[in-house]
Copies of this chain bind each other. A is one copy, B any other.
Amino acid sequence: MPIVTIQITREGSTPGASAATAEEKAALIKGVSELLRDVLNKPLTSTFVVIDEVETENWGRGGLPVEKFRQQQSGQAPE
């Protein structure tokens, strides 16, 4: 009876989107539940998934808020 917590920044993955869509969230829930079934034989119904969307101002990397970190890293692949 696994619990999976997925923490992501609250922002869209495509132009114009301001957050993950309901379809993207459903795909994450489906995919990770199937992964636990396939790897550890956990029945789908026994896996709980929680998606935690974090404001970009509340996420840090490299000692900086994430948007400043990305500016600093620009020229590299976005993260």
Contact = CB atoms under 8 A, between A and B. Distances in A.
Interface in A45-75: 45-54, 57-66, 68
Interface string A17-40: 000101011111111111110111
Give the copy number: 6
Contact of A40 (B24, B59, B68): B24
Nearest to A46: B79
Contacts of A35: 27-28, 31-32, 35
A48 B5 CA distance: 12
A79 B42 contact: yes
Nearest to A53: B58
26 contacts: A1-B9, A1-B59, A1-B79, A2-B8, A3-B50, A4-B4, A4-B6, A4-B7, A4-B32, A5-B5, A8-B36, A13-B39, A20-B40, A22-B57, A27-B35, A28-B60, A29-B60, A30-B60, A31-B31, A32-B60, A47-B61, A48-B48, A50-B54, A51-B59, A52-B58, A53-B58
